[in-house]
Amino acid sequence: MSRPLPVEVLFEDDAILVVDKPAGMMVHPAPGHPDGTLVDALLPRCPALAGVGSAERPGIVHRLDRETSGVMVLAKTQRAYLALRQAFEGHVAVTKTYLAVLHGAPKPAQGTLETLIGRKGWDARRMAVVGPGGDGKRAVTHWTTLQRHDGLALVEFTIETGRTHQIRVHAAHLGHPIVGDALYGDAAADRHRPVPPRRMLLHAVSLAFPHPVTGRPVAFSAYPPDDLIFAR
């Protein structure tokens, strides 16, 4: 018998389930990752998810990368699912805030980056800042540097759009990739840290959106994990 998968539930009512996804956990099954996902962890607790949305992604209205920890909301009813999908896809009153540890600090300490993000050539895994005329989609990221220490910076990111790997791509584009990012980061710099990172240091610290039933604004936060150094 498999052990229960550890996922902290931050809030639950008849319509939504808000959780703190741990780093290293896929949100839903994918090629090479058939089990051990967030969906696997939550279905025993909330069987109603199975009838919401698609069979492969029950209740899922947005995602976090496998190595990203933090706040996620799932829909428990089809009505909630449709309302949340509309809000997230249209970026209607949805605010996503992240904390990341970067190699170095962006200049200025506070700013906004607006670009197009699209697939990078032949590598289907990678996204990149691209020029007009291709498959690029508008991506807007706001950043504020909170702390600096020993060549690293703790940076708060708020995104207006939800493009694949948006913060990771924009951090790298600024010349300050996320520590531990195996796809867009600086592997040599990671290896030479006094304590090399064991994962990508990116955490979804808060999420605000309209409640799918009442329409009222709701907001939830997840305390940064221990490995997100100087984030506490």
* Nearest one of 224, 65, 226 to 146, comparing CA atoms: 224
Active site residues: 65
Would you state the pLDDT for residue 227?
A: 81
Question: Do 98-191 and 8-94+206-221 fall under one CATH topology?
Answer: yes
196, 202 contact by CB (below 8 A)? no
Q: Which residues contact 59 (CB under 8 A, 6 or more apart)?
A: 17, 39, 42, 46, 49, 52, 53, 74, 75, 76, 81
Residues pairing with 78 in the sheet: none
Q: Which residue, chain included where needed, has tokens 């948006």?
A: 166
CATH topology classification for 98-191? Pseudouridine synthase (3.30.2350)
Residue 2, pLDDT score? 47
Helices and strands, number each (H, E), in the chain: 4, 10
Looking at residue 79, its pLDDT comes to 97
Kindly tell me the burial class for residue 162, based on how many C-beta atoms sit within 10 Å of its own C-beta (0-12, 13-18, 19 or more). middle
pTM of the predicted model over 0.85:
yes
CATH superfamily, region 8-94+206-221: Pseudouridine synthase (3.30.2350.10)
**What is the domain partition of the chain in residue ranges?**
8-94+206-221, 98-191
**pLDDT for the residue 33:** 65
Blockwise average pLDDT, block size 10, the chain, 232 residues:
72 97 88 79 92 92 94 97 94 93 96 94 86 90 95 95 95 97 94 90 97 97 84 50
